[in-house]
A and B are shown apart, each in its own frame.
Chain A
């Protein structure tokens, strides 16, 4: 049973436009959400996160939106740049009740063309 779903395996966007990557989750106990970015032949790197007490978190060109009622979050990249081409993983963790591990989605490959 996949608890974190990224239903779009890939996304193509032109440079300068907005990229929107989506993530859905099924576990209502998830309390904290993270996005990781991964280039080929490298390990994932942390990009941005959001707590369930917020509905938006912004960091430069990257904004994550959380809709708890819909169990949906999205990552917006504005403006998109060719260097943003990578695989993006959504991850979630339950609330603080002892140690909790991350659950990752399958990833979305973003291609930003010049």
Chain B
């Protein structure tokens, strides 16, 4: 049982390049989330999904797109990376509505945009 895994762990991009971050969970969770963590800013929700085939915007969605084609995977895309997207990205998943349970986080992806 690997829990929540993220690929890649580190990435350096040049401004304007695109990339996709992959999140996978093996806990059969319905809900999945993408956060970014910046120094002094805590965790901010980018996008989330309440089930396969669904996505919704979080607090800071601009510049990102997501897809949830399979229940176990949640992809975060950057179409044209900007230095402001330099951050640590965390994926999380949960089974219940958050009022009932906890979110399980992946180890993070450290992204640098030059």
Contact = CB atoms under 8 A, between A and B. Distances in A.
A45 B108 CA distance: 12
Interface residues of A, number: 26
A8 to B, nearest CB: 13
A94 B98 CA distance: 9
A43 B42 contact: no
B93 to A, nearest CB: 11
A89 B105 contact: no
B112 to A, nearest CB: 15
Interface stretch (B12-20, B44-52, B60-68, B71-79): B44-52
Nearest to B33: A101
A79 interface: no
Nearest to A107: B42
Nearest to B91: A43
Contact of A104 (B43, B106, B107): B43
Interface residues of B, number: 24
The 4 nearest A-B residue pairs measured at CB = A43-B105, A46-B102, A106-B42, A104-B43
B98 A102 contact: yes
A93 B50 CA distance: 16
Nearest to A93: B98
Interface of B: 4, 31, 33, 40-45, 48, 50, 58, 90, 92, 97-99, 102-108
A99 B4 CA distance: 21
Given A43-B107, A44-B105, A99-B50, A104 B99 contact: no
Given A43-B4, A43-B105, A44-B105, A101 B45 contact: yes
Interface in A58-114: 89, 91, 93-96, 99-102, 104-107
Nearest to B108: A43
Contacts of A34: 102
Interface in A21-71: 31-32, 34, 41-46, 49
